[in-house]
Amino acid sequence: MPGKKVCIVGSGNWGSSIAKIIGNNVKASNRFDPMVNMWVYEEMIKGRKLTEIINTEHENVKYLPGHKLPKNVLAVPDIVEAVRGAKVIVFVIPHQFIADLCDQIKPHLTEGAIGISLIKGLSEGPDGIQLVSDIIREKLHVDVSVLMGANIASEVADDKFCETTIGAKNVANGLIFKELLQTANFRITVVEESDTVELCGALKNIVAVGAGFCDGLVSSDTFLESCGVADLVTTCYGGRNRKVAEAFVKTSKSIAMLEEEMLNGQKLQGPQTSAEIYKLLQKKNLVNDYPLFSAIYQICFEGRDVKEFITCLQNHPEHM
């Protein structure tokens, strides 16, 4: 039986990195056709077509310069030609272009094709937000998995180690994509909660913009020293304050009692510091402006129910 033809819809920074992996993986597997089509949004680079450059120099000089693509990855400027005969379609374009492309693909889709979306984004649908994978499902009536992870395209192209997650409602299809995409240094876990995987991938981009805002507003240099974000992450994962606070919720014992039971004479600094800061906030009439610090103090020392923790944060004056 001939191997399944793969088409990559997209050839940007991530699309080209993924093409490098797919091109190599199909050569090593009987499951896939050894030639891969990569749809390229055509543009001129110094008087030459990008597809022509990719097909002769095997490099996407605009979106992934410095990396050779395998020769079995063929750049195709016509989307209809690119998807012709494809049984496996990898969608990897900026999300704003997906609906239009699906409309172009639909009349030419091969029966039994399956898809995977590497696209991090959401769209506005008739009933609120819509997952990109749902747009593809609705328009093409194919099974769609998703792949999202902590993956920077140029690092993956450099073959640096990282992990990623495939969300597959149809696990058998998820495993086909794992075979297509996994390498020794790009390790894949397949889970069934596809929608959760996709939402994580889309929403983290908004937080990334916020992180950029913060770095632009303040000098980030000191926060990037060990004393800053690194210590915050470390303490929240592995520290004594975190450990005792979790036990406080699970056992309903007091912080003082748990400190004695769990720390063998070692001392917690967080609750005490929250009390000191709370006094200062009271003096300056700022208690309501610091709901996180205030709620933690009140839970630790004033008997406030820990179940109200989220409610405390919901009542920030800025939200009113």
Ligand X SMILES: NC(=O)C1=CN([C@@H]2O[C@H](COP(=O)(O)OP(=O)(O)OC[C@H]3O[C@@H](n4cnc5c(N)ncnc54)[C@H](O)[C@@H]3O)[C@@H](O)[C@H]2O)C=CC1
Question: Smallest gap, in angstroms, from Cβ of residue 12 to ligand X?
Answer: 2
Of 23-31, 69-77, 146-154, 234-242, the segment contacting ligand X by CB under 6 A is 146-154
The binder of ligand X chosen from 34, 97, 182, 192 (CB under 6 A): 97
Give Cα 314 distance to the centre of its chain: 26
Q: Is 151 near ligand X (CB under 6 A)?
A: yes
The site partner of 118 among ligand 13P, ligand X, none (C-beta below 5 to 8 Å per kind) is ligand X
Give Cα 251 distance to the centre of its chain: 35
Give the active site residue among 68, 106, 204, 284.
204
Of 30-38, 86-94, 234-242, 311-319, the segment contacting ligand X by CB under 6 A is 86-94
Residues within the interface to ligand 13P (CB under 6 A): 120, 150-152, 205, 208
Distance CA 102, CA 8 (A): 13
* 27 noted as active-site residue: no
Of 71-79, 115-123, 288-296, 305-313, the segment contacting ligand X by CB under 6 A is 115-123
153 annotated to a ligand binding site: yes
- The nearer residue to ligand X, 132 or 268, going by C-beta atoms, is 132
Q: Is 113 near ligand X (CB under 6 A)?
A: no
Closest CA to 12 of 40, 31, 52, 51: 40
Query: Site size for ligand X, by CB under 6 A?
Result: 20
- Strands 122-125 vs 128-131: parallel, antiparallel or unpaired: antiparallel
- The nearer residue to ligand 13P, 90 or 268, going by C-beta atoms, is 90
Contacting positions for ligand X (CB under 6 A): 10-15, 41, 63, 92-95, 97, 118-121, 151-153
Q: Binding site for NAD(+): which residues?
A: 10-15, 97, 153, 240, 267, 269
Residues annotated as catalytic are 204
Q: Binding site: which residues?
A: 10-15, 97, 120, 153, 240-241, 267, 269
